[in-house]
Amino acid sequence: MARVSQNMTRVAYAFWVMVFFVMVFGLVGILYYATQKVDYVWRWYRVPQYFYYKEKIEVRSEIQGRVEEIASTGDTARLRVAGDGESAQYTVPVQGLRVDAGDTVYPGDVLGVFHRWKVGILLQGLWLTLKVSLISILLGTLIGLVVGLARISANPALRWSAVTYVEIIRGSPLLVQIFIWYFVLGTVINTLLAKNGLEQLPPIWYGVASLAFFCGAYVAEIVRAGIQSIHRGQMEAARSLGMSYPQAMRHVILPQALRRILPPLAGQFISLIKDSSLLGIIAIRELTKATREVVTTSLQPFELWFMCALLYLVMTFGLSMFVQYLERRTAVS
């Protein structure tokens, strides 16, 4: 009887797996059929060039004169152009030479060409998104930890300051906060820096600050809830052993709270990666803005937006797997 039940369970499981794949392929088929009705031509083969491509570099003459000498060394050729009282030397690949010795050249004439691999705009946007998100996560975690501890402090100045910060940040949209950081605080800070002869901060750092302070408010509440979920007897036991409050918090409370707050922290960090797409409004070419620029020039919205979504999925899924790994490492049997 038990064997029959197991067989039925396996059949049911296989059936629902098949239903899942039928649904997925059905949705893909419907999408493809819809694009055919609007006369859209899929060009997936053009997408890789926006990640990595060969750039054609032209070596042009800067002066007017004659090609006096061409000296070849292996695959490289050195050209010397001499004019009226001036001369210039250029280095180009032998296969890319476009002139011969004795030729007359003018400013702007092509002396040779070569190709060089270059990072595409989508890969640049992906790297900037990772960079901004990582820095914001680290700063947001630090801010959240400090504010979270202040939220449970007995000091009213610390506690009320933390509550005010959390409520203001959580009560206003991230887009508005980005505008305030860039157009208001950024203008004030850069003006003061310029008047004092210091270098102004680029927009990326105001974007990082807006994301970090936004993330910090939510992390603070996660930290507060995690600490308060630990039974107060843990603190009393640590203090009875002679530990100070900071020592008890560091060695007893926080390690236990960390295991409980990892899942909500992962969710917050994943949301932060997706929220970084809003930074494109302040001239930061992260992944979404880079995709929008490519769509404008290539007229390939379907392929590029699907690729953009896939890249965000890879980042968030990778972070989720990393947090699950940390959960397993910190799990208590």
**Within a domain: 305:** yes
119 — pLDDT class (breaks 50, 70, 90): confident
The domain boundary residue, chosen from 72, 99, 118: 118
Judge contact between 308 and 147, C-beta under 8 A. no
Number of domains in the chain: 3
Judge contact between 312 and 127, C-beta under 8 A. no
Q: What is the pLDDT of residue 8?
A: 65
pLDDT at position 172 over 70: yes
**Residue 223 and residue 157 share a domain:** yes
Q: What is the pLDDT of residue 57?
A: 84
**Within a domain: 257:** yes
Nearest to 144 by CA among 211, 215, 210: 215
**Residue 156 and residue 184 share a domain:** yes
State the chain's mean pLDDT as an integer. Answer: 86
Range with top average pLDDT, 100-114, 242-256, 307-321: 307-321
Percent of the chain with pLDDT over 70: 96
pLDDT at position 166 over 50: yes
Domain of residue 82, CATH code: 2.40.50.100
Distance CA 38, CA 312 (A): 27
118 — pLDDT class (breaks 50, 70, 90): confident
pLDDT tens digits along 137-164: 999 999 999 999 888 888 889 899 999 9
- Cα–chain-centroid distance for residue 186? 22
**Residue 289 and residue 257 share a domain:** yes
Q: Enumerate residues 6+ apart whose C-beta is below 8 A from 278.
A: 174, 175, 178
Distance CA 32, CA 42 (A): 9
Per 3-state DSSP, what percentage of the chain is helix, strand, and coil (rounded to 5)? 70, 15, 20
**Residue 154 and residue 69 share a domain:** no
Largest CA distance in the chain: 102
pLDDT at position 40 over 90: no
* For residues 4-29, average pLDDT: 83
DSSP 96: G
333 — pLDDT class (breaks 50, 70, 90): very low
Nearest to 122 by CA among 307, 333, 317: 307
Domain of residue 132, CATH code: 1.10.3720.10
Q: Enumerate residues 6+ apart whose C-beta is below 8 A from 141.
A: 215, 216, 219, 265
The domain boundary residue, chosen from 118, 145, 161: 118
pLDDT tens digits along 260-288: 888 888 888 899 999 999 998 888 889 99
* For residues 204-230, average pLDDT: 90
**Residue 92 and residue 31 share a domain:** no
* For residues 201-210, average pLDDT: 92
**Within a domain: 230:** yes
Full-model pTM: 0.80
**Residue 196 and residue 315 share a domain:** yes
Q: What is the pLDDT of residue 216?
A: 93
Q: What is the pLDDT of residue 292?
A: 92
**Within a domain: 139:** yes
pLDDT at position 304 over 80: yes
The domain boundary residue, chosen from 103, 118, 133: 118
Residue 60: how many other CB atoms lie within 10 Å: 15
**Residue 313 and residue 248 share a domain:** yes
Show the domain range for 16.
1-40
